[in-house]
Amino acid sequence: MRILEAKYIKGASSVRQLDLRDDIPEVSFIGRSNVGKSSLINALATQRVARTSSRPGATRIINIYNVLYESRGKRGTMLFSDFPGFGYAKVSRAMAVSWQGMVEGYLAKNNRIKAIIWLLDVRRDFDELDEMLLEWLILKELPFSPILTKVDKENQGNISRKVRSFEQFFEGRKAILFSAKTGRGKKELLAYIDTAIY
């Protein structure tokens, strides 16, 4: 799969606001603020379409991109949705709850979603919030794939240790190692998306 073009469509806070066709496959990107979601989308798109920020939790809406791709000799369209930091925002408790409701509502009520790319910083440990998200994704039977990001910031020994410690949580799913800086894992991730939306 090759991405030919990606264009920002709009920001939404609920799936109903979107008013998009149901037969376009959609891939969602979730994870903590600052984990590298926007950078990963830009790396896949090989152009800068998603705004990256150094202000964690700055985005409170789901940003939707229209993506033109080529695969198996054919062109097609899919959507990317770039999520606000999942329940990890430095905001009040009430706001965090409504935020989580928005994200969960969007994912659970959206028939287009073919893959949920869950980004985790390779330098962090799996914590209680990650466990909550994991349980919810499994409960809702959502198709997610874990990605360990920013692998350029860690040595191979530590990366391997992290992969082993995360394995137990992901029920046989293999985490893709990714770096928006070096491009590591890009091919593998595109191949995963290609299969997921096919």
Closer residue to Mg ion, CB minimum distance, 71 or 149 = 149
Which of 6, 30, 34, 80 touches ligand GDP by CB under 6 A? 34
> Out of ligand GDP, Mg ion, none, which partner does residue 146 contact, by CB within 5 to 8 A per kind?
none
At its nearest, how many Å lie between Mg ion and the CB of residue 53?
Answer: 6
- The reply on whether position 37 binds ligand GDP by CB under 6 A is yes
* Four-residue CA torsion sign, 59, 81, 33, 89: positive
In the chain, the N- to C-terminal Cα span, in Å, equals 11
At its nearest, how many Å lie between ligand GDP and the CB of residue 56?
Answer: 7
Which of 38, 71, 110, 179 touches Mg ion by CB under 5 A? 38
Which of 36, 87, 146, 185 touches ligand GDP by CB under 6 A? 36
- The reply on whether position 129 binds ligand GDP by CB under 6 A is no
- The reply on whether position 150 binds ligand GDP by CB under 6 A is yes
Contact residues toward ligand GDP (CB under 6 A) are: 31, 33-39, 52-54, 149-150, 152-153, 179-181
